[in-house]
Amino acid sequence: MSSHTPIGRKITLNDIAAGCDVSRATVSLVLRGSPLVNKLTRARVEDELRRQGYVYNRAAANLRRNTSSSIALVLNDLANPFFAEFAAGVDEALGAAGFVTLLGCTGESAAREQAVLGSLLEHGPAGIILSPAEHSEAHQVLAAVGRRVPLLLFNRELGGTLPEYAHWDQLMLDNQHGARLATEHLIARGHQRIAFFGGHHDSSSCRQRLAGYLDAMRTAGLRTEPHWQVECAPTRLDAAHRTSVLFDATQVPTAAVCYNDAVALGLMLGLNQRGLRPGRDFALTGFDDIAEAALGMPPLTTLSTAPQERGRQAAQLLMQRLQQPQAASQQTIAPVQLVVRESSCPPPAH
Q: Which stretch binds DNA (CB under 7 A): 18-26, 98-106, 142-150, 165-173?
A: 18-26
Q: Which residues fall within 8 angstroms of residue 124, CB to CB, at 6 or more apart?
A: 62, 68, 70
Among 177, 185, 236, 312, binds a copy of itself (CB under 8 A): 236
β 337-339/302-304 pair status: antiparallel
Q: Which of 2, 3, 9, 79 binds DNA (CB under 7 A)?
A: 9
For a copy of itself, give the closer residue by CB, 109 or 203: 109
User: How many chain residues are in contact with DNA, going by CB under 7 A?
Assistant: 31
Contact 108, 133 (CB under 8 A): yes
- Rounded to whole angstroms, the Cα distance separating 265 from 234 reads 11
> Side-chain half-sphere of 67: how many Cα atoms within 13 Å?
9
Contacted entry of a copy of itself, DNA, none for residue 22, CB cut-off 5 to 8 Å set by kind: DNA
Residues between 35 and 74 with contacts to DNA, criterion CB under 7 A = 35-41, 56-57, 60-61, 63-66
Q: Fill in the per-residue mask, 279 to 318: x = in contact with a copy of itself (CB under 8 A), - = not in contact.
A: ------------xx--xxx----------x----------
Separation of alpha carbons 246 and 301, rounded Å: 20
- Alpha-carbon Rg for the chain, nearest whole angstrom, is 26
Q: Among residues 20, 99, 217, 258, which is the contact residue for a copy of itself, using CB under 8 A?
A: 99
Respond yes or no on whether the N-terminal peptide bond of residue 298 is cis (omega within 30° of 0).
Answer: yes
d(CA 103, CA 105): 7
32 binds a copy of itself (CB under 8 A): yes
Closer by beta carbon to DNA, 35 or else 275: 35
Q: Is 318 in the site for DNA (CB under 7 A)?
A: no
Looking at residue 78, its amino acid is L
Listed residue (43, 41, 50, 42) closest to 15, CA to CA: 50
265 binds, among DNA, a copy of itself, none (CB under 5 to 8 A by kind): a copy of itself
Stretch that binds DNA, among 8-16, 179-187, 249-257, 330-338 (CB under 7 A): 8-16
Q: Looking at beta carbons, which pairs linking 174-178 to residues 24 or more positions away fall under 8 Å?
A: 174/333, 174/334, 174/335, 174/336, 175/205, 175/208, 175/209, 175/212, 175/287, 175/336, 176/208, 176/209, 176/211, 176/212, 176/215, 177/212, 177/335, 177/336, 178/209, 178/212, 178/287, 178/303, 178/336, 178/338
Footprint on residues 106-145 left by a copy of itself (CB under 8 A): 107, 116, 119-124, 126-127
Length of the chain: 350
333 binds DNA (CB under 7 A): no
Q: How far is the CB of 323 from a copy of itself (least distance, A)?
A: 8
**Interactions with DNA, residue window 66-125 (CB under 7 A):** 66
Piece in contact with a copy of itself (CB under 8 A), picked from 52-60, 169-177, 187-195, 329-337: 52-60
Which spans of this chain sit near DNA (rule: CB under 7 A)? Answer: 1, 9-10, 12-14, 21-26, 28-29, 31-32, 35-41, 56-57, 60-61, 63-66
